[in-house]
Amino acid sequence: MAVRPAQKLPFTHGFHSYPARMHPEIAGRVLERFAPAGTRVLDPFVGAGTPALEALRAGLSLTGVDIARVALEIAWVRTRVLVPETCRAVEREGARLAQLARRLEPDEAPLPVWARGVRQWFAAATLREIATLKLLIDQVRAADLRRMLTCVLSSLLVKLSRQASDSVTVRDRAERSWSRGASLGLFRSKCTELTKRLLALSSDLHRRRVTAVEPRLERADARTVRLEPEAFGLVLTSPPYPATYDYASHHQLRHALYGDDDAFVREHEIGSRRELAARTDAVSRYREATETWMRNIWRALAQDGQMIVLIGDGTAAGRTIQTADLVAGVAARLGGHAVARASQLRPDWTRGGGAKREHLMLIRK
């Protein structure tokens, strides 16, 4: 399935960066082919909500599950369908708050507790501006608008920080120096961008006469989440790649912004790099976790349902974890059948270069 990765992501897809997200063309084409009208879709690793947004654009009902509150907030914002006036409120309020923050004297205010915990990652003046914006956002009366503005600020944190990137959670060797007020200007611009993306989404749905169904988003572990038996015709998901990512660390700057810590994510994250990278039993541990979540989700899949999984191989203790064969084996033990797969080589940055395979798999119950 060829996609156009260099093309600018449409609608709200590109609003907030997120490690290893599914390309929207993959999600859109899968739903077009395997989810006829009325299909209930399940994504037990919803992340930033790419399948959720594409399901909404197709007029389909989707339930999304994730362990990270950060992810669920991004997915929620990206799937807002609003009237134009409400969309423009984001831009107006962003401009108002940025202007108000410029008039305050942030150097005189003590840093809130959440900001003190991340101050080693920011220049002092930049962190005080971020803290001032957060204080002003928290005073916005409309709850939905407050959530959207918080997510705008969340989208800027890594860019404004000393962290190398969203995926590389170490200090950047070539740190950028932000001038005073720069974060306020970026916040205002990002609010304008989100407004335009939300308007484009609502206009697209109106033009195609699609009735949007708001996704149901739940914070839970895919291995234990309670779902209605045989309720979903399609599972479309991209589970964690083994020994590749550490989502608790990727969002280390954002947890506190949402009044959260990373304890739940660290406890429930599957296949994290910190857990598996040096373990000789990594394959068996990852297989066990995969069988647990697939068995739980299998019960929620209709008798004639299908599961489509996007997953990549990983490397632990010098050994490659062949995820396609692993997933196919689990499906067979559950009584299913992996009927098709498409694979491609992708760069493997966890080994300082080289390549590994990524797989799109179709499994039938």
Classified as helix, coil or strand, 237 is strand
pLDDT at 1 over 60: no
Per-residue tokens: 44:
């037990």
Domain match, 116 and 159 both: yes
Query: Has residue 54 been placed in a domain?
Result: yes
Query: Has residue 302 been placed in a domain?
Result: yes
Residue range 250-259, pLDDT digits in tens? 898 999 898 8
pLDDT at 103 over 70: yes
Domain end among 165, 182, 203: 203
Q: Which of 314, 303, 308 is nearest to 275 (CA)?
A: 314
pLDDT at 361 over 60: yes
Question: Between β-strands 40-43 and 337-347, what pairing exists: parallel, antiparallel or unpaired?
Answer: unpaired
> What pLDDT is attached to residue 151?
97
Domain match, 260 and 355 both: yes
- Quote the mean pLDDT of the chain: 92
Domain end among 137, 169, 203: 203
Q: How many CA atoms lie within 13 A of 139 on its CB side?
A: 12
pLDDT (average), residues 74-82: 98
Question: Between β-strands 232-237 and 40-43, what pairing exists: parallel, antiparallel or unpaired?
Answer: parallel
pTM: 0.94
Domain end among 151, 177, 203: 203
Total number of residues shown for the chain = 365
> What pLDDT is attached to residue 352?
57
> What pLDDT is attached to residue 250?
87
Q: List the CATH number of the domain containing 282.
A: 3.40.50.150
Domain match, 109 and 243 both: no
133 burial (CB, 10 Å; 0-12 / 13-18 / 19+) is buried
Query: Has residue 241 been placed in a domain?
Result: yes
Q: Which residues contact residue 139 at a Cβ distance below 8 angstroms, ignoring those fewer than 6 apart? A: none
Query: Has residue 17 been placed in a domain?
Result: no
Domain match, 99 and 46 both: no
> What pLDDT is attached to residue 175?
73
Query: Has residue 261 been placed in a domain?
Result: yes
Query: Has residue 1 been placed in a domain?
Result: no
Domain match, 299 and 181 both: no
pLDDT greater at residue 326 or residue 108 = 326
CA-to-CA distance for 47 and 29, rounded, in angstroms? 19
Q: How confident is the model at residue 5 (pLDDT cuts 50, 70, 90)?
A: low
pLDDT > 90: percent of the chain: 78
CA-to-CA distance for 250 and 163, rounded, in angstroms? 10
Domain match, 96 and 64 both: no
Q: Which domain holds residue 292?
A: 24-69+212-364
pLDDT at 7 over 70: no
Cβ–Cβ < 8 Å for 75, 52? yes
Domain match, 358 and 239 both: yes
Domain match, 343 and 222 both: yes
How many domains are contained in the chain? 2
Dihedral sign (CA 255, 283, 227, 55): positive
Domain match, 103 and 147 both: yes
Residue range 166-196, pLDDT digits in tens? 888 888 877 778 999 999 999 999 999 999 9
Domain match, 198 and 216 both: no
